[in-house]
Structure 1
Amino acid sequence: MRNSTSIAIGGFDGMHIGHQQLFNALDKDGMIVVIETGYANLTPKKEREHFTHFGILYLELESIRHLSGVEFIAFLKEKFPKLQKIVVGYDFHFGKDRKYSHRELKELFDGEVVVVEEVSLHGDSVHSHKIRAKLQIGDILGANAFLGHNYTVKGDVVSGQGIGKKELVATINIEAEEFLMPKEGVYATLTRIDDEEHFHPSVSFVGHRVTTDGSFALESHILDGEVLCKERASISFVNFIRDNKKFASLEELKQAIKKDITIASKELKFLQL
């Protein structure tokens, strides 16, 4: 860290295609400085590290928000003695009450300040809050396009309601409270089991089990055969299939799941797993 000559500063929740533009401006020994606000739920905590080869320094907003512009620069130089370049987005602000912008940063820092302009896709500006909004309406394709990767949640395996394997289909149930859940419904997904490197084609359900016990669930059915998941799993969302729906009987639910599996199988058929 102390040998880094360039840093990119921001919240970087999602590590989306706009963020990647900032990282592209770093030198080969550059580092990413993440300002943790407590609101990151696309890539919470250290999940960001899966989407970059650069090292990451995490700073709590509460520990630096009181700093003046001069104090902030002094703080960065203490962390990075060889600092020559700072990369920020066009909407970057820092200091008490977000008083300072990239303009003051250029005045206060005696090295190079690179300001990355707004990144757009199909005429729509890319922001983390827009990705969250897309996920919450089930626009997985739109969210993934902004992210530059499939939206993925990870969590520990938990016990299900106990009727899946016996009455419906076998599922892996996980708890991923730190992540934003997409709109309630059924999705074509890719599921990674424990420490396996590859993903299994799958169909996943997010939401309240309105036909059975009413509890909230995040569960995935593996399409290429039943697998044993011991501790953790990750679910990567590929496309939305249908809304959550209450069925009159378990038999109706079972038939709907069969249709979901057929649709998901077609969606995932040509993906390189």
Structure 2
Amino acid sequence: MKIYNSIQEFGSTTKTIVTLGTFDGVHKGHKSILDKLIKSNQSSGCESVVLTFFPHPRMVLQQNTDIKLLNTMSEKAYLLEQHGIDHLIVHPFDHAFSRLTAEEFVKDILVDKLNISKIIIGHDHRFGRNRTATIDDLIHYGTVYDFEVEQISALEVNEVSVSSTKIRNALDKGDIAIANEFLGYNYFLSGIVIEGKKLGRTIGFPTANIHIKQDYKLIPAKGVYVVSSLIDGNTVHGMMNIGTNPTVGGTAGTIEVNFLDFNENLYGKELKINIHKRLRDEVKFASVDALKIQLEEDRTATLNYFKETRNEQSSL
């Protein structure tokens, strides 16, 4: 998959089939849209294009919004690539772009820049300045500029919307099971391992402190989670705490992973932390010894989770 940082960077003499949207989460609700794109692409000989935007339009048009996103742009690109998309255009969204008229968007971008043959879009999609143009206008422009418009049904559009909302709400509550069900994969965090206070190693549970530089990334609710990560080609299991470490007087929010049976230097490494299950809330224990007892129980629960998962997979 080729990635472009603006519409201006893209150029192709081959006709394209396009879909556009935020695609935050690239979840089950999006899959039907992407499947339509790939199927049309394969049957027509055209190339598939996903046009998305950053910052998220709500970040620009609603200045006071504090929207958190399910994916960073690199995470979104990774997920879209798994679907077999040919081209991903991440166009900078700003007020000037939002002021394009409907016909300017169609003629200057879809037709002249993207060389469009077909667009796959929601039946309720609105576009152009002040979002006044409708799907009927797009169909009209399709006859004028010779491209096809395939509408996504109301049911499919609702599925995308409901899934996104449910995923965000579930993660805010720490309900990783519901989030993963709607995503169709394990929710994950991507970040760099940085130095922490190194308190974990003093009680036998050394942790990798994960720094996520994108402040718009949605972090699940405080608590302890079962996780895994691919490190140097090997899957390593672990347990992750999201919180402030109140038992040892912590106040700042941290994301810390204790990898099981693993003792290598990870400082500076970028890791993708897959979240499988939530074990419990973060708790302020009466003593460090009480915390250690609980961490031992968490470790056993984590080991049992992966043992049960292996047994389930082997019985299939």
Q: TM-score, normalised by structure 2?
A: 0.78
Offset of 1:215 from its aligned partner?
2.1
Decide whether aligned partners of structure 1 residues 93 and 199 sit closer, same or farther in structure 2, where only a CA change above 3 A counts: farther
The one of 77, 92, 95 aligned to 1:60: 92
Alpha-carbon distance in 2 for matches of 1:167, 1:30? 52
Aligned: 1:171 with 2:207: yes
Instruction: Show the counterpart of 1:242.
Output: 280
Code of the aligned partner of 1:214: T
How far apart, in 2, do the equivalents of 1:103 and 1:198 lie? Answer: 51
* Higher deviation after alignment, 151-160 or 226-235: 226-235
Would the alpha carbon gap of residues 242 and 76 (structure 1) be closer, same or farther in structure 2, given more than 3 Å must change? same
Question: Which structure 2 residues correspond to residues 83-94 of structure 1 after superposition, within 5 A?
Answer: 83-94=116-127
Runs of 4+ in 1 over 4 A off after TM superposition: none
Quick one: structure 1 residues 90 and 135, their matched pair in 2 at CA, closer, same or farther if it must change by over 3 Å? farther
In the alignment, which residue of structure 2 is the partner of 1:205? 241
User: CA distance change for structure 1 residues 4 and 258 in 2, over 3 Å: closer, same or farther?
Assistant: farther
State the Cα deviation string for residues 216-259 of structure 1 (Å, max 9, x = none): 11011112332321322221111111011111111111111111
Cα pair distance change 1:241/1:148, threshold 3 Å: same
Measure how far apart 1:170 and its partner are: 1.1
| Residues 206 and 106 of structure 1, relative CA distance in 2, 3 Å threshold | same
| Alpha-carbon offset, residue 59 of structure 1 | 1.5
Sequence identity of aligned pairs in percent?
28
1:14 lines up with 2:14 in the alignment: no
Between Structure 1 and Structure 2, the one with more strand by share is 1
Summarize the Cα distance change of 1:168–1:154 in structure 2 as closer, same or farther, 3 Å threshold: same
The 2-side partners of 1:13 and 1:91 are apart by 18
SS state at 1:244 partner: coil
Gapped regions of structure 1 (runs ≥ 5): none
Report deviation, 1:124. 9.8
Alignment partner of 1:130 out of 160, 163, 166: 166
- For the residues of structure 1 that align with 2:183 and 2:252, how far apart are their CA atoms? 30
| Structure richer in helix, relative to its length | 2
Q: What is the TM-score with the length of structure 1 in the denominator?
A: 0.90
Q: Identify the residue that residue 151 of structure 2 maps to in structure 1.
A: 115
2:128 paired residue among 83, 95, 100: 95
Give the letter aligned to residue 226 of structure 1: N
Q: Secondary structure at the match of 2:237?
A: strand
More moved, 103-112 vs 259-268: 103-112
> Per the alignment, do residues 58 and 124 of structure 1 end up closer, same or farther by CA in structure 2, a change over 3 Å counting?
closer
Q: What is the CA deviation profile of residues 68-90 of structure 1, one whole-angstrom value per residue up to 9, with x for unaligned ones? A: 11111012112212x11101234
**Aligned-partner Cα distance in 1 for 2:125–2:266:** 42
Pairwise CA RMSD of aligned residues?
2.2
Q: CA–CA distance in 2 between the matches of 1:205 and 1:188?
A: 9
1:192-230 CA-to-partner distances (Å, cap 9, x unmatched) read 33xx33431111111111111222110111123323213
